[in-house]
Structure 1
């Protein structure tokens, strides 16, 4: 279970880093106060939410198969 947890946290960190860089680049290109930048931030939040939900589902699926993980 620790291996699965570590892999999921690593995946989450990579997704978060990539989304953060994408938002930063969008801010540099369009300006940090523009409409497209705000749209990029909202899109990043939505993608992050779906990624976290998917990773949580994967972790719960693994936890169900290993009742002894506690």
Structure 2
């Protein structure tokens, strides 16, 4: 499954803001594939604020993501 998530900086050689914050390339798909785990997972990760995506401890990360998602509803 790990090979499905491609870091943005390995897609092209020029540096962008998304490369520097650890964003993932969103797969180019049409129709049914746009709702796949890989596509939605990459989109969700890229939409997280930098202070959440940089949390290293899993329990702290889970709490922060849940709070972020609940606040955005």
Both proteins in one fold, TM over 0.5: no
Superposition TM-score, scaled by structure 2 size: 0.30
Superposition TM-score, scaled by structure 1 size: 0.31
Q: Which has the higher helix share?
A: 1
Q: Return the index of the structure with the highest Cα Rg.
A: 1
